[in-house]
Structure 1
């Protein structure tokens, strides 16, 4: 990450910035786009934080003169990929991470599987919530990684474009984020970039485009005839509606349940020809775009995890299967004299 040339602020401007204001200027001098978070919180203090994040000293001074804000770094805009390693909270890791106690141990396992050392040799910040760690890496040229939650591994999140991290010197719950390793951010290791590239690849087996209405056919063989066409139209309509739902006030949660229940009703009747695995894959391909950090209508940052999406889909499918819908019978009833 290269430093960006900015006019140096005069000494008189710096007198009442506080140490977080000075930390913000130092981060900006290192090329990090910064913005204020409400004091003692993780919540942005300004609207449209990603576009507003800056390296400009004048704007930074104006912000931190007002209040002792916490310090946020817009990861993607800063050319960073931040690996967020969460503490395990005493939970039990599922396969393939059985035996791991937290995100650090999961990342170490991923490195071993790649035949590489764990990537600790980079700028890092410890979090105040009991063992969390943020590892800062320079993103490869031309990359555009997005946020993900738990997809890289158990208790391993990714912050890049569309995401931010709370920077060192900030406080939360009365405790401080602290720089653990003050060296410059290292380049993202090649093996880790390969894993992130794989996560960014189009979901399989359902070939759903990243944006726009869902038009890809459901990857399942259904018996030919009118039942096939009817079922396919229902599936396409549900997936398109699910893909168009905006975030906020639980709308996506409700939409995931609705779509999963509708497809579950089709799965519940074997004559419909829709397999459980195919329905689940198609739903995940669309709802997977709900994973990550977003801004709610009231301006608050919210997040959705992969686990939450899968839970909604599995719950909806199970509910729908108990209310099976016989498309063949419906067609027969409609065409009967």
Structure 2
């Protein structure tokens, strides 16, 4: 669990790790941006409770695509959370723990699971290429959120109120390629409808060139 009052030594060590991850993603072309973090100075108003990060700057959309040197400068002085904007090269489907575990099991059956992020609030993020739409059964489900244009997602090791964001499946395992959105959407629909791991599942197709390495 994280206290909202960080010690100077802990803040410094964590900032270095966040900065290194942000620079690495920026070199691969990921649209990284700094987010708020659990510190008194970043609470929206005195006495309010910080729970999860949002972009640290109002003009965050104008900052996308910054050179890695600029990204490094952002994280030089403050332990910003690590956010990635969605809707260009990457989208994400956010689901609850139960659906996330079902979908991850189905993806494992294909031998090519997608990059998956787990958040301390019990929510999971399935990363994909960007898409124009999602299946209606996902779009209409109250516990499913599609992160696309105008949104963002936190990536490890971003802190939350009670823990740190971490990878369930790291993108480097699959050469930093993102699976095509339609394939992952299909798996999530099957998981939502109660499909079992032994049922046939379409193989996720990884987008050619989606790795910015």
Task: Please classify the TM superposition score into its range, dividing by the shorter chain length.
Answer: 0.5 to 0.7
Written as runs of structure 1 = structure 2, the 5 A alignment for 1:162-177 is 162-177=150-165
The corresponding residue for 1:74 is 85
Q: Is the 8 A contact 1:29 1:55 kept in 2?
A: no
Q: Is the 8 A contact 2:104 2:113 kept in 1?
A: no
Written as runs of structure 1 = structure 2, the 5 A alignment for 1:1-337 is 18-40=16-38, 41-77=52-88, 79-87=89-97, 102-104=98-100, 107=103, 121-130=113-122, 132-139=123-130, 143-145=131-133, 151=139, 153-182=141-170, 183=173, 184-192=176-184
TM-score (norm 2): 0.61
Q: Which stretches in structure 1 are left out of the alignment for 5+ residues?
A: 1-14, 88-101, 196-337
Residues 145 and 46 of structure 1, relative CA distance in 2, 3 Å threshold: farther
Q: Is the 8 A contact 2:87 2:148 kept in 1?
A: yes
Q: Which has the larger radius of gyration?
A: 1
SS of corresponding position for 2:21: helix
Q: Superposition RMSD on alpha carbons, in Å?
A: 3.5
Question: How far, CA to CA, are the matches of 1:16 and 1:176 in structure 2?
Answer: 11
Give deviations 1:100-122, integer Å, cap 9, x for gaps: xx33267579x79xxxx679712
1:192 is displaced (CA, Å) by 5.0
SS of corresponding position for 1:186: coil
Question: How far, CA to CA, are the matches of 2:121 and 2:156 in structure 1?
Answer: 13
Residues 23 and 154 of structure 1, relative CA distance in 2, 3 Å threshold: same
Give deviations 1:300-335, integer Å, cap 9, x for gaps: xxxxxxxxxxxxxxxxxxxxxxxxxxxxxxxxxxxx
SS of corresponding position for 1:190: helix
1:39 is displaced (CA, Å) by 1.3
1:43 is displaced (CA, Å) by 1.7
Q: Which stretches in structure 2 are left out of the alignment for 5+ residues?
A: 1-12, 39-51, 188-213
SS of corresponding position for 1:25: helix
Q: Is the 8 A contact 1:83 1:158 kept in 2?
A: yes
Residues 144 and 76 of structure 1, relative CA distance in 2, 3 Å threshold: same
- Compare the two structures and name the one with the higher helix fraction: 1
Question: How far, CA to CA, are the matches of 2:91 and 2:57 in structure 1?
Answer: 23
SS of corresponding position for 2:139: strand
Number of residues of Structure 1 aligned to a counterpart in Structure 2? 157
